[in-house]
Structure 1
Amino acid sequence: MQTEQLKAFVIEKLEDMKGRDIIALNISDKASFADYMIICSGNSNRHVKSIAQSVAMECRAQGTEPRGMEGNDVGEWALVDLADIIVHVMTDEQRDKYNLEQLWAE
């Protein structure tokens, strides 16, 4: 799947899982490790974990194997590494605390 197709696919899956406040940041000019960072919020630790697991599973089903997943044990902040796209799923508290949108927008 091409990067733009994968981005649209991931956003659709996040919406399907009721992820909130979904933002896709183009970081291609700021980072060498990925083209996009997609950030969304989950309602609880369990919701964060299930969103991240669902995105990884749906991507696998489409032939895109995640490079890795982090934070799925605790569920406050889960990361799915899809090579050109990094997906962050966070509780509202973690999202407010780390403010990735502002950090990467500057």
Structure 2
Amino acid sequence: MTQSTSHDALSAADLQRLVIDTLEEFKAQDIKVIDVTGVSPLTDQFVIASGTSTRHVRSMADKLVERAKANGIQPTGVEGQGEAQWVLVDLNDVIVHLMLPQTRAFYNLEKLWEVSAEHRDGARSA
């Protein structure tokens, strides 16, 4: 999953940079990138960030989709925009989780995926 399928699309590294730049520009809080290469069959990178309100989370997701499309990336899916406590934007090589702080604390995806990545890395060195 390191390269996108469209000829005009960004590389996975460029896509990650686009995601981070967009989230920073739109004032996302506590942006975290987790490498799940070899751990998740769905993607290589998770990006997790918080928004200050449901309106903020929703608008960040909208801008991210807009920027991705402008750069040749068609999102595979966008979920959760109705309530906007947790919006998932699937960009294939990068899956973005935009959450309210309390939702993020409850689900604690960072801990879940970091433990999985540590397990993967431990298995590689054994």
- Cα distance in 2 for partners of 1:8, 1:86 equals 13
Give the 4+ runs in structure 1 shifted more than 2 A.
none
- Cα distance in 2 for partners of 1:45, 1:38 equals 18
Ranges in structure 2 where 5+ consecutive residues have no aligned partner: 1-9, 116-126
- Cα distance in 2 for partners of 1:63, 1:77 equals 25
Provide TM-score, normalisation by structure 2: 0.83
Whether 1:35 aligns to 2:44 is yes
Letter in 2 for 1:22: I
Aligned residue for 1:39, secondary structure, equals strand
Aligned residues: 106
Ranges in structure 1 where 5+ consecutive residues have no aligned partner: none
Cα offsets for 1:4-45 (capped at 9, x unmatched): 110011000000110010001000121111000000000001
Richer in strand (by share): 1
Cα offsets for 1:34-69 (capped at 9, x unmatched): 000000000001100000111011100111010110
Letter in 1 for 2:109: L
Cα RMSD after superposing both structures: 0.5
Aligned residue for 2:84, secondary structure, equals coil
Identity within the alignment, %: 39
Letter in 1 for 2:59: S
* 2:69 matched residue in structure 1: 60
- Cα distance in 2 for partners of 1:97, 1:53 equals 24
* 1:47 matched residue in structure 2: 56
